[in-house]
Chains A and B, each alone.
Chain A
Amino acid sequence: MSQPVTARSTLVERLDALYEYDREPVTSKDYHGWKIFWATFAGEHIAGTEFVIGPLFVMHGCTATAVLLGLLIGNFLAVLSWAFVCAPVAVRTRLTIYWQIRRLGGPWLTVAYSAVYGVVLCLLAGSMLRVSMTSIVLPFQHSFVASGEVPQWMWIVLALAVGSVIALLAVLGFEGMAIFSKLSAPWMVAVFIMAAIATLPLLGCHSLGDFWRVANERIWTGVTSIDPTSGRPFTKYTIWHVIGFAWLCNMPQHFGMADLTILRYARKWQMGFCSSAGMYLGHYCAWVASGILCAAAIAQGIKTDPGPIAYLGAGLAGALCVVVAGWNVASPTLYRAGLALQVATPDWKRWLVTLVVGRAMINCACIPALLAHHDLLVTTNALLLLPLGAFIFIDLWLFPRIGLQPNYAEQTKALISWPAAAAWILAMIFSLVAFSYQASPIFLVLPEWIVAVVLYVILSAVQQKLLTPSPLPAAANA
């Protein structure tokens, strides 16, 4: 089954070789129980971005009810998506998303998916690097910059220095970084919680009875802040924005099916509910905590970047938490981006691709708007990758019921499934047009999913019923 990668190997052969060891479905001896999934989800969803997203709700003028209730509902929807959309597919197929897309869309579609995913990961790694830099810059801010405003050249120098270390770590020791990431997860939860508790008195909250008043009057006041990059107020967010954002934040993982890679090891589909650990520790507690830190920073006249707010909340431990949270994600993300983009390079070694991707990450980290508009980055990520997850879902559950052939590209040995490619592109064009008419990208996710599914079903029916003269053997349905 293994194919040697030679200088003459094709793009598709190189891509297949990268994922060679995940080609077969997971066997029952490798299934995991509940404990490993609780821990995995809890560890994966506490990262540097939590220091960015919590403050965004404050700056976008959310009310306390919108945040506290909206996050409760939005995260619940995300848990349901993992449990009822992603996990059942994972335990049914036991394959990674890569091989699932390969079966339904053909090798060229997986190349396109890998390239898009690689670019998205590059931007996310750049964002993580920027988060770390906001903490590392603190000593320089106090020592060398009289105005307290760090000049752009200093950000560039820091991005080069810190980014080079992260890129080197991604090349040398991805596994070590991944282990360190898991070891630090419980500590990061503790830092978020303690920073929020210790910061509340700075906002005038001295007892539990004060909390609701302070939450409404001092934290989530409903007043929008000024966007530092454009000088205009941020868009006003309502409870619907909060619900939508909490749900779509991990859309590529659940509706987009990227977590097939993890959940294919689950003994039962019900283990998808373990995602609640990540959602309610990381995307509820940590977002609420960082929102409190942001409000305290505004009250104290401190910048609302992750580094300064964490330092205010927990001193050196808080600043360290920002660095760790950023690096923990940046390094493996960079590794995965390198892996995804390796296919598009002419037989380059993995280390060379990772270093080139590292350079792109450094460039991205120099963009000041990356943190202020992190919500847009997350939403775009969801919109780009969502349709392919929708195709996997429909291919598995709907196609056999309406007389269409699942995994049609695999059965016909096609290089690309044109219905999947066309539906993916047209669904994204639909979102782009809607966005150009001022539609909030947060509310485009569900419409895009519906458009992608409808187009994929219609185009597949045209392909299989009208354009294919002879039916495939029934055994191919298996």
Chain B
Amino acid sequence: MKILFKAISFSGLVLMLLSSVLVFNGVMSRHAYYILAMIGTIAWFATVPFWMKWRLHHQED
């Protein structure tokens, strides 16, 4: 399950970056790019808490 969440998270980031490259190449409109960027954002934040671990105790002072 963790692998699935991880795959969705990184797919979100790839979607964002890929859509910007398509805008750069003139293949995609800015409006479609804005929508895909938001979808990628939702994919990242909806799945990342299920797999990313952080140790914080040494940063709290």
Chain A contacts to B: CB under 8 angstroms: 19, 22, 30, 32, 36, 39-40, 96, 98, 174-175, 178-179, 182-184, 186-187, 190-191, 193-195, 197-198, 200-201, 206, 261-262, 264-265, 314-318, 320, 339
Contact = CB atoms under 8 A, between A and B. Distances in A.
A244 B56 CA distance: 31
B61 A261 contact: yes
Nearest to B52: A183
B38 A317 contact: yes
A198 B41 contact: no
B34 A314 contact: yes
A194 B34 CA distance: 11
A22 B34 contact: no
Contacts of B61: 19, 22, 96, 98, 261, 339
Interface in B11-61: 12-13, 16-17, 19-21, 23-26, 30, 33-35, 37-38, 40-41, 44-45, 48-49, 52, 54-56, 58-61
B37 A314 contact: yes
A197 B20 CA distance: 6
Top 9 A-B residue pairs of the complex, sorted by shortest distance between their CB atoms? A315-B34, A194-B20, A317-B37, A198-B20, A197-B20, A198-B23, A182-B54, A317-B41, A190-B13
17 contacts: A22-B61, A36-B55, A174-B60, A178-B59, A179-B56, A187-B41, A190-B16, A191-B16, A194-B17, A197-B17, A197-B20, A198-B30, A206-B25, A264-B58, A315-B38, A317-B40, A320-B41
A184 B38 CA distance: 14
Interface residues on B, range: 20 to 34
B26 A206 contact: yes
Nearest to A178: B56
Nearest to B43: A187
A197 B21 contact: yes
Contact of A197 (B24, B30, B35, B59): B24
A262 B37 contact: no
A109 to B, nearest CB: 18
A228 to B, nearest CB: 27
Contacts of B37: 191, 194, 314-318
Contacts of B59: 40, 178, 261-262
Given A40-B59, A96-B61, A98-B61, A183 B24 contact: no
Contacts of A39: 54
Contacts of A195: 20
Contacts of B55: 32, 36
Given A182-B54, A197-B20, A261-B59, 6 more contacts: A182-B56, A183-B45, A187-B45, A191-B16, A193-B20, A317-B40
B23 A201 contact: yes
A358 to B, nearest CB: 19
Contacts of A201: 23-24, 26
A405 to B, nearest CB: 28
Given A183-B49, A314-B34, A265 B58 contact: yes
A22 B45 CA distance: 33
B54 A317 contact: no
A187 B33 contact: no
A87 B40 CA distance: 37
Contacts of B35: 315
B9 to A, nearest CB: 8
B54 to A, nearest CB: 5
B22 to A, nearest CB: 9
A194 B52 contact: no
A314 B34 CA distance: 6
A248 to B, nearest CB: 23
Contacts of A194: 16-17, 19-20, 37
Nearest to A18: B61
A317 B16 contact: yes
B18 to A, nearest CB: 9
B49 to A, nearest CB: 6
A96 B58 CA distance: 10
A277 to B, nearest CB: 15
Nearest to A30: B58
A194 to B, nearest CB: 4
Contacts of A265: 58
B19, B20, B21 — most chain A CB neighbours (10 Å): B20
A159 to B, nearest CB: 26
